[in-house]
Amino acid sequence: MTRQSTLFEDLWAPELPPGFVLQAQALSLDRQKALLAAVRDIEAIAPLSRLRTKGGGLTSAAMTNCGDAGWWSDAKGYRYETTNPATGAPWPAMPPVFWDTVREVAGHSPWPDFEPDACLINFYTPAAKMGLHQDRDEKDFKHPIITVCLGDDADFQVGGALRTDKYVNVRVHSGDVLLMGGESRMRFHGVRKIFGGTSPIANVNGRYSLTFRKAL
C-alpha cells in the first residue's frame, strides 16, 4: 500500500493485498471541487438513477456514466452500453478534469499507461451501500479499475477471490483514490457504510465514487 507507514498503522489501515493500492489524499480540495462540478454537469445531461437488477430490485446507489461506454443494468443483465438506455443519447464525454486526474493517478501507480474509456459514477446517500461483488463486465481484466472518492467518508470492503472470503474494511475519505489491478483485479469488494455529514466539500450529502474502467 502507498499510505505512509506509522507505528499505529494497524489501528486504522489494515494491510492491503498486492494489487490493491490506496493513494490516500491524492487529490487537493480544489481538485475535488472541480471534479464535483464536472459530475454535476454530467448529471444534468445523464441523470443519476437507481438501476434495475436481474433480481428485480434496484441498486442502492444511483448511477450515471461518462465516456465511450457506460455500465448498465436492467432485466437483461449487467453490461456496457455506448449510448444511455434511458435517453438514447451517447454518454457525455469524459471531462478534461477527469482525464487529468486519472492520468496523474495512474502515472504514480503500477499501471502508468492506463487509458480508461468509461467512468461509472456512483452516488451513495448516507443510507446507501453496495454488496460484495466483482467487476467482471469489462472485456479485458488486465486493466485496473481506478476509483476516486468524493464527499462523505465510507468503509470500503476489500475481500478475496470468493464472496465468502474474509474481508477488511478500509476507511476512505474524499480525495482518496483506490486502485484494483493485477492479482487484486477480481477481488470481491463493496461499500459497507457511508458516514453522513463528513464531506469536506460543501453541497454533497453523501458520497460519489468515480470508477474509471477500460470497458471495451
- When asked if residue 138 is in the footprint of Fe ion (CB under 5 A), the reply is no
Nearest to residue 169, comparing CAs of 191, 152, 187?
191
Residue 103: phi and psi, rounded to 5, are -70, -40
Q: Which stretch binds Fe ion (CB under 5 A): 5-13, 78-86, 110-118, 127-135?
A: 127-135
Query: What CA–CA distance (Å, rounded) separates 138 from 65?
Result: 14
**Enclosing H/E stretch for 193:** strand 189-195
Minimum Å gap between C-beta 144 and Fe ion is 12
Minimum Å gap between C-beta 135 and Fe ion is 4
Would you say the C-alpha torsion 180, 168, 154, 33 has a positive or negative sign?
Answer: negative
34 vs 210, which CB is nearer to Fe ion? 210
Cell of 86: 434511458
Q: Give the residue at shortest CB distance from Fe ion.
A: 135
117 vs 135, which CB is nearer to Fe ion? 135
91 vs 156, which CB is nearer to Fe ion? 156
Cβ atoms of residues 213 and 116 within 8 Å: yes
Cα 123 to Cα 2, 36, 43, 163: the distances in Å are 26, 11, 11, 23
Minimum Å gap between C-beta 210 and Fe ion is 12
- When asked if residue 135 is in the footprint of Fe ion (CB under 5 A), the reply is yes
Minimum Å gap between C-beta 133 and Fe ion is 6
Q: Which stretch binds Fe ion (CB under 5 A): 1-9, 79-87, 128-136, 161-169?
A: 128-136
33 vs 123, which CB is nearer to Fe ion? 123
Nearest to residue 67, comparing CAs of 52, 78, 51, 83?
83
Query: How many C-beta neighbours within 10 Å does residue 15 have?
Result: 8
Minimum Å gap between C-beta 113 and Fe ion is 22
Minimum Å gap between C-beta 120 and Fe ion is 8
Q: Which stretch binds Fe ion (CB under 5 A): 33-41, 51-59, 60-68, 129-137?
A: 129-137
Interface positions with Fe ion (CB under 5 A): 135
